[in-house]
Structure 1
């Protein structure tokens, strides 16, 4: 009887959810691009499949845009859909609501018009403006559609790290993160020195600091770099903080080292001829051996942290889908293969059980699979201190609601009130250092004080019990 009652409740909830979605779809409203206010663009009719009387083309400079005037009877959250044809290859656009926060939307390459989920917009009561601004440009904009958002369902996060041998510290960190997910967000910052800068400005210290293994990479060490991030991470760990690491992995070999592309930029695709697909084609070629050499060098540093009892949110191969780093330059399959090699080498060969693995690309075809990923994340550089809801929603879909999601690298700290209004439950945010955290065009001092003193944002002094 109890099971029957439980099943009936679940069914009733499902029916209610479906009914709500059907009702919301019936309230959807479409706005044709050709009826908007056009800046630097023009109406065309050549491409088949458009709706209305045409579509808009000519997004070829940064200021080109279409402005839509929309009204709402109350403060209300809407799902935004953009109908577009990215006939010139994959593109990105910027969505700006009421002249404020900007969000970036990815358009996959397509030879026909299709509907792209573009996150959410929180409309004010009365008149609103939604700008679709060029960004990468060169796409055909047909229309936008606004649909009232349905409440986000409860999270169903995996109960433990994927590594069954995860050590006590990693388990405790995962458990703590799971306990706050959807309720609070961890404040975070790239580089220890900027955490001190934030403390002086706001009176609060970030809960999480992100560090970089970059200068421990062999092709940099042989040119004189001396890494210090492990020592800096221990400083933050010893004061009760949470540690994250990324790795700007200088290519193992093949650095151009020209005036345009110095050796120290060797993690960029443009600065090396290192071919990851070729290197992974067999386990006997010299470049495969160099990959292992580099992984083993980083393992030395990770073991220092493991011996000190430091659990790490480890985010290697970041932004792979962008293609601007060599590990993503040959497409998703070599990038996934490298991730699996890296995971296996560190987990099974080096027995590094203090790591929580953070994947950092959004597109499904790049995802290496649930078994090697603990947390999903995105790096987003959009001005206006918005909630970054587009990428959050995409990652919810990617992880099927089972993975926690982090804004692992951002240019602008998100406003806590917008995160809550949009139900964008990012686990943490980490603002990049020079040129972003200290740049008022991205983060004003007043905004940072508001963020760091918000009840929704956890700072170092507020997380001291997480190891218990």
Structure 2
């Protein structure tokens, strides 16, 4: 009996930052509603730590059952697992980073069974050129809107996505709730859906059509929709491509540190400023605030976690943060590519200190809140 009431009791101890609204999907599954409700209750008090492709591979290993760089270091998995479904639209067996979709389904199920959270991004191919999402040579967004020449093609992609999402079920047989972040980093110019390739009105129309099609036509009721601009310095810039409160559940942005270790201070200040802007909008709109992608490649600063990142999220805590993938050494690029620590990495001891404080939750910490119940 105590176990059943403990999570609810714990929530009463959390400081509520704002009153949150409802999911934009009125028919959302019970587990999806509960996840959103519990994320809202944790918001402002706890920060869920996430990692891209965490179960699939890490530095020096691939596809080892149950392994995780974060678990190897801390003894527990992340609280949030990120995945990308690029390639699903063109019937590929593997995604853009070589993760087989069959394995991805297993990982998503495992994450749900662990009581943790899954989020999906989609680096979908350019529908006109057939090249990858970084190909901006074609004006593609206009072509996939309802009156566009590639609209039927785009709907077929959404149909494939719907089949994939409907196949995601936990051991309990329930549809697995997914934080879905389409057309991310929309303020940048590097994707075919970015600011240099479509007008704000076209972007909003694409977002609104996509959500309406998935929710109303395809009857997907286990998605939580995550809006994701980047490169903003003002509230006006943040909202330039915002499709409206009826089409968004979570507000997020992406921000990475680049260059020398000395740039950590400016990175922390910039992230803090962006979180302040986003949180102000989130409170007004009754939405959840998150940092959907972040990190510092190779983490060469031994004290980066406590001296830089902790300061970045101190004043306006995001609901969750997702660090990018640990690909390790890449033969083609001749570089090391990882954003989260692992045993022996220079910042690993500092990371352990970071998660002791700062109200950071990993899998075991999140599990006691039973976010799907």
TM-score bracket for the superposition, by shorter chain length: 0.7 to 0.9
Q: Does 1:201 align with 2:64?
A: no
Bigger Rg, structure 1 or 2: 1
- Structure with a larger share of its residues in strand: 1
2: CA distance, partners of 1:170 / 1:254: 36
Is the contact between residue 157 and residue 404 of structure 1 (CA under 8 Å) also seen in structure 2? no
Which residue, 269, 273, 280 being the options, matches 2:135?
Answer: 269
1:333 Cα deviation from its structure 2 partner: 1.9
1:462 Cα deviation from its structure 2 partner: 1.4
List runs of 5+ in structure 1 lacking aligned partners: 1-152, 256-262
2: CA distance, partners of 1:386 / 1:210: 23
Which residue, 431, 435, 438 being the options, matches 2:323?
Answer: 431
Matches of residues 228-307 of structure 1 in structure 2 within 5 Å? Answer: 228-255=103-130, 263=131, 266-270=132-136, 273=138, 275-280=140-145, 282=147, 285=149, 287-305=150-168
Matches of residues 322-333 of structure 1 in structure 2 within 5 Å? Answer: 322-328=188-194, 329-333=197-201
1:215 Cα deviation from its structure 2 partner: 2.7
Match of 2:40 in 1: 178
1:432 Cα deviation from its structure 2 partner: 0.4
Match of 2:311 in 1: 418
Larger relative contact order, structure 1 or 2 (CA cutoff 8 Å, min sep 6):
2
Which residue, 275, 278, 281 being the options, matches 1:398?
Answer: 281
Match of 1:46 in 2: none
Matches of residues 454-465 of structure 1 in structure 2 within 5 Å? Answer: 454=357, 456-464=359-367, 465=370
2: CA distance, partners of 1:242 / 1:222: 22
Q: How many residues align?
A: 302
Instruction: Normalising by structure 1, report the TM-score.
Output: 0.59
Which residue, 27, 32, 51 being the options, matches 1:189?
Answer: 51
2: CA distance, partners of 1:219 / 1:351: 22
Residues 273 and 220 of structure 1, relative CA distance in 2, 3 Å threshold: farther
2: CA distance, partners of 1:463 / 1:233: 16
Could you say what the CA RMSD is over the residues aligned between the two structures, in angstroms?
A: 2.9
1:414 Cα deviation from its structure 2 partner: 5.7
Instruction: Normalising by structure 2, report the TM-score.
Output: 0.73
Is the contact between residue 208 and residue 242 of structure 1 (CA under 8 Å) also seen in structure 2? yes
2: CA distance, partners of 1:241 / 1:223: 22
Which residue, 215, 221, 229 being the options, matches 1:361?
Answer: 229
Match of 2:219 in 1: 351
2: CA distance, partners of 1:223 / 1:182: 34
